[in-house]
Amino acid sequence: MSDAPEKPVENHVFEADVARLLHLMVHSVYSDKDVFLRELISNAADACEKLRYEAISAPELLGSDRSPRITLSLEPENRLVVADNGIGMSRDEMIEALGTIARSGTRAFMERIEAAKAGDGTQLIGQFGVGFYSAFMAASRVDVVSRRAGSEHAWRWSSDGQGSYTVEAVELTDAPERGTRITLQLMDDAKSYTSKWSVERIVKEQSGHVPVPIDLVELPSGETSRVGDGTALWTRLRNEITKEEYADFYRSVAGQYDEPALTVHFRAEGRHEYTGLAFVPTSKPYDLFDPTGKGRMKLYVKRVFITDDAELMPRYLRFVRGLVDTSDLPLNVSREMIQESPILSAIRKGLTSRVLTAIEKLADSDKDAFAKLWDAFGPVIKEGIYDDFERRGQLMTLARFRTTASGDEHRSLADYVKDMKDAQAAIYYLTGDNLGQLQASPQLEGFRARGIEVLLLTDSIDSFWVTAAPDFEGKPFKSITQGTSDLAQVPKLDAKEKPSAETTEAVKDFIAFAKMALADAVSDVRTSDRLTESAVCLVAPEHGPDRQLEKMLQGAGRLDAAAKPILEVNPDNALIAAVAANGNEAFRADAVNLLLDQARILDGDRPSDPRAFAERLSRLFSRALKA
């Protein structure tokens, strides 16, 4: 279908999110404006790579111009032109690409940069791909002229970044034969981007390893110099590549400005031959916890870019950036073939093993560096314990945890098992929303009194992988908020401490009363050996989910009704003894309900009926004041 114009100039208003994004970027969110040049060069390189791929099945698209290139032209009157002879854009593609934002994470990006406006915005550079719109950080006006390969029409997109843009047809004589030409009218404070030395430095630092040659042209003299040779870095030997070159290449493929924490570069030979170049970032990518997020590994076949949507890494390693280049696939590989290819399955397995091995080596050789990596990506890596049965043991060995014995440090499961008490049969854990809440949990009291270490698990995935992993080195995992605690088998640390006295008849009678009074709210009321200070706590029944997992499943709509919890009572607590000694049934009824609500509050919940809670509390105060 022809995309010929129906009217000379079309006026459009930016999508709301685009307008907001432009406003935020232009108003000093980024102090380093160099980012825009890297983004435009990356887009140009992608356009050239897309053309190379489409030309496999349609070689006529290349015509007589078969060599991809990117040209940066420094023009008089503060103009910078970024041009490529790539795939180009049609009118509809231009509106879709330059007038809307379709990618996930945009709203999160804008919220983050708004929050950073009061502080140092530079920390956000590279955490989000700002793409084409970054041009407005340096330009007061941007004109884009593009002609799609094989098309008889060319189009101009123009905007000052103030909320609207125009699209119009242009004569073919005013357009490139193929590809895109972006003209930036630079602001007064961006004049340095017409300096040859400044632009050459930026290109070599940030984009020197894109797989497309980059030429720099000074006008009006026409002097041309090559500032990027288009050599694919991954085809070189590792000992020929410097740390700085790896870091520059990482930034170009990852869209981030941090240093890579790990670089994994290898050539696999044998049944399948391929080159892998993978980077583990230092900082979290913006979409790390996007539930629909996939890996960001690019697939090349014989140096021809194929896709960045192939699942070359498992989801729990989706923060890894890089590429795979193989000669074992046909250049005209289809999306269906990618999804079903046993070759790619083998590559995925080999690449995953290489990355995990590199992370293991870092854990052994540099504990501080590994601790930073784990702080950033541990919650995601633990997803693999849940869904990667084949590597579950390896991932559990790699995992690190905060515990009641670790302070500010992380502990491995091997460390935990090595320090278990002689009579301890399980690896105990406690899940919750934050570390402070867990550390204050009454369920920990009996474990602390016996010196039993407890894993403190605050990530959402923790509630799931502990149910999937049956054991570690033969030791099962057991939630301290579920079932009986089995603490009686382990002696308390203080040998001089008197053993717990026999439960008095008054307390037994009070517990029997509580069972009847709270029959609709709890499944049982019993004495507790996990409490040493607090009066009460709630635990889940022996079978089914523990307390935290139950809350999560209910919140997600995957559990219609929670099981009735068990109320455990500390028979040695002075408050329990005093309440048990009071024979007034009205007082007892208020007391047992208040104790249940107290247990709920300690568990991070609210009283089930706030009004009834307040009324009971008022009656209790009145009785105390009259006494």
The first and second tokens of residue 497, run together, are 């401490």
Instruction: State which amino acid sits at residue 168.
Output: E
Both 211 and 317 in a single domain? Answer: no
Confidence class for position 362, pLDDT limits 50, 70, 90? very high
Question: H or E stretch including 92?
Answer: helix 91-99
Range of the domain at 216: 9-228
Helix (H, G, I), strand (E, B) or coil at 437: helix
The verdict on 456 and 328 lying in the same domain is no
Q: What is d(CA 264, CA 285) in angstroms, rounded to the nearest whole number?
A: 18
pLDDT of residue 493: 84
Secondary structure of 523-562 in the HEC alphabet? CEEEECCCCCCCCEEEEECCCCCCHHHHHHHHHCCCCCCC
- pLDDT of 104 reads 38
**What's the confidence (pLDDT) of residue 333?**
72
Pair (550, 408) in one structural domain = no
Q: Please check whether residue 193 lies inside any domain of the structure.
A: yes
Residue 498 has pLDDT above 60, yes or no: no
> How many domains is the chain partitioned into structurally?
4
How far apart, in whole angstroms, are the C-alpha atoms of residue 356 and residue 394? 9
Spell out the alpha helix ranges (H) of 341-482: 342-365, 367-381, 383-387, 392-398, 413-418, 435-439, 445-449, 462-468
Contacts of 313 (CB under 8 A, 6+ apart): 278, 295, 297, 320, 348, 351, 352, 355
Average pLDDT, rounded, for the chain: 87
Mean pLDDT calculated for residue range 64-77: 94
pTM (predicted TM-score): 0.70
Q: Are residues 301 and 196 in the same domain?
A: no
Question: Do both 243 and 224 map to the same domain?
Answer: no
What are the backbone dihedrals phi and psi of residue 568, each rounded to the nearest 5 degrees, phi first?
Answer: -100, 140
167 pLDDT above the threshold of 80: yes
Query: Does residue 622 surpass a pLDDT of 50?
Result: yes
pLDDT reported for residue 321: 94
The answer as to whether 130 is a domain residue is yes
Query: Of 108-112, 334-338, 362-366, where does mean pLDDT reach its minimum?
Result: 108-112
Does any domain span residue 575?
Answer: yes
User: Which residues are within 8 A (CB) of 237 and not within 5 positions of it... i.e. 6 or more apart?
Assistant: none
Task: State whether 169 and 47 are in the same domain.
Answer: yes
Cα gap 515→502, rounded to integer Å:
20
**Mean pLDDT computed over 285-296:** 73
pLDDT single digits (tens) 212-266:
999 999 999 999 999 988 888 899 999 999 999 999 889 888 878 889 999 999 9
Q: Which of 228, 256, 280 is the last residue of a domain?
A: 228
pLDDT at 48 over 90: yes
Same domain for 84 and 185, yes or no, is yes
Q: Are residues 521 and 444 in the same domain?
A: no
Cα dihedral 89, 91, 96, 100 sign: positive
